[in-house]
Structure 1
C-alpha cells in the first residue's frame, strides 16, 4: 500500500484503540447455547430441502440443524465437515442470504429464514475448539500429490486426499497458508485469527506438508511437479489485478484493494494502518465493499464506492451493499473512471456517467480523493499452464484440465463463481476424481 509523503491526507491513528476494537468486532457473533436451540427450533426439517440444493457443498442442512436441536452440536459439525472441511469459515463468509437462506421455506413464507449460517458456525466452532479432528486418515497408499495454492480449493483437496491415505505437499507463494480466507476477506468477518486456527485444525488429519514461499513459475514448475508427483492440483487463485486504464493511474495513493485488505488482515495494530481522509473505491464486488467498509471503520471521513453499472448489476450481495451504506459508504453507480488528477499524488478522480449499456453520457463528476483503491477484478498469473478459457484454466466437471495428471479448481478455474464455498466444493470433487484415478 502506498505510504508516500506526497499523500498528506493518508495517515495512521485516525481513531482511538477502543474505537477500532469496536469497529472491527465480530459482525455476526456466535450463538450461545440457548440462542442456537431457539434458532434450530424454527427449522421444518424439510424433505428434499431447498436449502440443501442451494448449498454448493451439498451439506445436509436439515440433519445438522436437527442434531443441534437434540443437543449434539459436535455431531452436527461432523455432518458439515464431511461435505465442507472449511465449514467454519464458510459459515462466516458465505453469502447465505443468496444461497441456502434465500430458498428457506421460512424465508418464502414469512420473510425470515432459519439462520443457517450462524447455526453452522455454532456447531463447527464447538468442535474446532475441542481441538479434536473428526476424521481418521486411511492407511498410507504410497502415492504423492502436489497441491499448488493453500487457499480454500487447495486445502479442501489436500484434506480429502490425505484422508484417503495419500501424501500431500501443499505449495503456496505467501508466508502462511489460508489463501483468500487468510488474506482476502474483511477483518470483521473472521476475528481472533480464526483462518489460521482453522488451517492448523485441518492439518491434524495428517499426511499434509505445507511449503510456503513457493510460487509456480518462480522456482516451482509444472514439469517438475509432474515428474515428482503422481498427480497435481492447481488452486492458485487469481494473483493479478486489472488496471483502470486511465490517465494518472500511476499516481501515489492509487492502490489495489486486495493489497489493502491483506495488509489490514495481517496488521498487528490497526492503529498503525494509514488511511486517507477522502477514499474512493472503484468496483462493485465483495472486495470493493470489504475495502470501502474497512476504510470507513479505520477512520476515513468520506468513502465513496463507485461502480460502472447499475446497482442491480453489482456482484456484491444486497446484504453487503446495505452493510456498506449503514457504515456511511456512499455508493455511486453508472459511473466509469476517466482520469486520476493530482500533482504526484492523487487529489481527485474524474468519472463519466454511463447508461445501462456502459455508453458514456458526456456528464462527468470529480470526487476529492487522497486514496483510491482499485477493485475491478483479478486475473490469472502463471506461465506454462494448461489450456485456458476466458482467462481461466479450462476444466471439466471433475476438475480435469487439458493436461493428463493435472486438475484445477477455485478462482483460477472455469468451473466456479468465485465464492469460498464453491472453491471448497471444487477442491473436494477434484480430490475424489484424483483418488479414483490413482486407485484404478
Structure 2
C-alpha cells in the first residue's frame, strides 16, 4: 500500500465527481475542421523553414500544414507519421512553444506562432479515427530483434523495424506498454486513454510481439538476448529517483512525484486518489509541474513548487510555469530542502535560501519553513540496472549518433542513453534512427 494512503493528512474524495471531470478535461481541445483550415492558412510555407530544423523528428511541417489547407488531413498525418510514428501523442505533450512554434516566423514577426501542435493533432487524430494504418509491412527478412522497454523510444524503434520486415519482440517491466506516455505525464494532456489507443494503433503494422513483466535482470538478461536475437535495442528509461538529501526524508507523506503521477494515470476513479491539504513539490522540471498542478486539481488547498534556482533556470517551459500559476500553484524560487519536520509524518519542510554565485549554487544560511502534509520529490531520475559490458557516460548508456553502444549488436535510445533531452519527441527520433542503423547493419 502506498505511503500516502496511510498518512492522516492525505485524503481522497476532496471534490465532487463533476469537479474532477472538469479539472481533468482536455488541456487543449481538438480543432474543428473550420478552425484547422483557418489555423493552416496562417502558415507562410517558408522555404528552408526554421520550424523543421527545430523539430527533433524533422517533420516537414509546411508540407503537412499545406495538406491540411487543401483538405487532405489524412495525407498530412502520413507526412507526420513518416518521421514520428507517435505524432499523435507528441502533438499533445511536446513543448512546441520552445521548439517548432518558437522558431515559427509568425512568432518572430507577430508574437503569435502558427498552432503547429494543434494542427498536428488534428491531422493525426483524423487518420487514427478512420482506423487506418498508413504503412504496410515489407516482406519478412527472417531477422529477429529484441527491444527492451515499451516507451516512446522502444515503440518507435519496434515500429520502424517491423515496417522493414523484421520480427520484433518488445519486453517491458510494466503490465501495460507506453512507458512515459502511459505512466509519466499529466492526465489532462492525454485524456480518454489516448496513450493506450495509440499503442494499439501502432501495433497494426504487424510483426511486433509484446511481453509484459520482463525487465533486465528480472526475467531477461542482455547476454541471453544477444544470443537469441540478431540485434538488441535498449529503451529502458530511468527507473531510479535521486535522493532529496534532506534530514527526515524517510517520513510518511514523502514520496516520488513519478509514482504519484503513475498512480493518477492508472486510476479508474479520481475520487479514490488521496492528496494532501498542503502539498510541496521539490523540483523544477515538467514532472514537478505535472505533479503540482494535478495535486491542485485533486483538491489540495495549497500547493508549492520549491526550486533551488530561479524560474529562468527551471526545466519546465514558461508555458508550463504559467499553467501552474493559473491553477493556483505557487512557485518558490531559490530554495533547497534541508529538513523534513514532523513526528513520523511530514508536517513542514525547512528550506535554505540559495544564490547562484557564478561558481555554483551556494546556501545563504537563511531558512524558511513551508507547511506540508505531502511532499513529492521531482528532482531527477537515474539509470538503474544497466547491463555489465556497456560503456556509460555521465550515468547513461554511451551511444553514437545512430544509437550504437559499445557492444556491436546492441543499440540504445531515449532517456537511458546519452545525447537526449528527456522529451518524448526526442526519444521517438532516437528509436527511429537506431532502427534505421540496425536495419542497415543487418542487411548490409
TM range (shorter): over 0.9
Question: Equivalent residue of 1:359, what SS?
Answer: strand
Q: Does 1:202 align with 2:202?
A: yes
Which residue is equivalent to 1:3? 4
Q: Does 1:123 align with 2:118?
A: no
Matched positions, count: 439
- Residue 367 (structure 2) aligned to one of 358, 364, 369: 364
- Residue 407 (structure 1) aligned to one of 403, 406, 411: 411
Aligned partners of 1:372, 1:99: CA distance in 2, in Å?
A: 32
- CA shift digits 1:48-77 (9 cap, x unpaired): 000000000000000000000000000000
- Aligned pairs for 1:168-187 (under 5 A) are 168-187=168-187
**1:383 Cα deviation (Å)?**
4.2
- CA shift digits 1:62-116 (9 cap, x unpaired): 0000000000000000000000000000000000000000010100000000000
**1:2 Cα deviation (Å)?**
1.7
- Aligned pairs for 1:360-399 (under 5 A) are 360-385=363-388, 386-399=390-403
Which residue is equivalent to 1:64? 64
Checking the alignment, whether the CA contact within 8 Å between 2:171 and 2:215 is kept in structure 1 is yes
Q: Does 1:432 align with 2:436?
A: yes
Checking the alignment, whether the CA contact within 8 Å between 1:280 and 1:306 is kept in structure 2 is yes
Question: Equivalent residue of 1:247, what SS?
Answer: coil
TM-score by length of 1: 0.99
Checking the alignment, whether the CA contact within 8 Å between 1:334 and 1:358 is kept in structure 2 is no
Checking the alignment, whether the CA contact within 8 Å between 2:283 and 2:307 is kept in structure 1 is yes
Which residue is equivalent to 2:338? 338
Q: Does 1:421 align with 2:425?
A: yes
Checking the alignment, whether the CA contact within 8 Å between 1:64 and 1:79 is kept in structure 2 is yes
- Aligned pairs for 1:163-242 (under 5 A) are 163-242=163-242
Aligned partners of 1:244, 1:100: CA distance in 2, in Å?
A: 34
Checking the alignment, whether the CA contact within 8 Å between 2:386 and 2:397 is kept in structure 1 is no
Question: Equivalent residue of 2:4, what SS?
Answer: coil
Aligned partners of 1:280, 1:3: CA distance in 2, in Å?
A: 14
- CA shift digits 1:282-336 (9 cap, x unpaired): 0000000000000000000000000001111100000000000000000001100
Aligned partners of 1:283, 1:111: CA distance in 2, in Å?
A: 29
**1:384 Cα deviation (Å)?**
2.3
- Aligned pairs for 1:16-35 (under 5 A) are 16-35=16-35
**1:3 Cα deviation (Å)?**
3.1
Aligned partners of 2:252, 2:50: CA distance in 1, in Å?
A: 49
TM-score by length of 2: 0.98
Unmatched runs of 5 consecutive residues or more in structure 1:
none
**1:4 Cα deviation (Å)?**
4.7
**1:9 Cα deviation (Å)?**
1.5
Checking the alignment, whether the CA contact within 8 Å between 2:280 and 2:376 is kept in structure 1 is yes
Checking the alignment, whether the CA contact within 8 Å between 1:4 and 1:252 is kept in structure 2 is no
- CA shift digits 1:186-227 (9 cap, x unpaired): 000000000000000000000000001000111210000000
Which residue is equivalent to 1:354? 354
Checking the alignment, whether the CA contact within 8 Å between 1:158 and 1:208 is kept in structure 2 is yes
Question: Equivalent residue of 2:226, what SS?
Answer: helix
- CA shift digits 1:107-138 (9 cap, x unpaired): 00000000000000000000011111010000
Question: Equivalent residue of 2:300, what SS?
Answer: coil
- CA shift digits 1:250-283 (9 cap, x unpaired): 0000000000000000000000000000000000
Q: Does 1:275 align with 2:279?
A: no
Question: Equivalent residue of 2:276, what SS?
Answer: coil
- Aligned pairs for 1:289-304 (under 5 A) are 289-304=289-304
Aligned partners of 1:82, 1:302: CA distance in 2, in Å?
A: 45
Deviating beyond 3 angstroms after TM superposition, the runs of 4 or more aligned structure 1 residues are none
- CA shift digits 1:339-397 (9 cap, x unpaired): 00111110111000000132110110001000000000000011424111000000000
Q: Aligned-pair RMSD on alpha carbons?
A: 0.7
Checking the alignment, whether the CA contact within 8 Å between 1:217 and 1:383 is kept in structure 2 is no
**1:178 Cα deviation (Å)?**
0.1
Aligned partners of 2:304, 2:204: CA distance in 1, in Å?
A: 44
Aligned partners of 2:366, 2:327: CA distance in 1, in Å?
A: 28
**1:425 Cα deviation (Å)?**
0.2
Checking the alignment, whether the CA contact within 8 Å between 1:160 and 1:432 is kept in structure 2 is yes
Aligned partners of 1:334, 1:348: CA distance in 2, in Å?
A: 18
Aligned partners of 1:167, 1:208: CA distance in 2, in Å?
A: 6
Question: Equivalent residue of 2:76, what SS?
Answer: helix
Question: Equivalent residue of 1:340, what SS?
Answer: strand
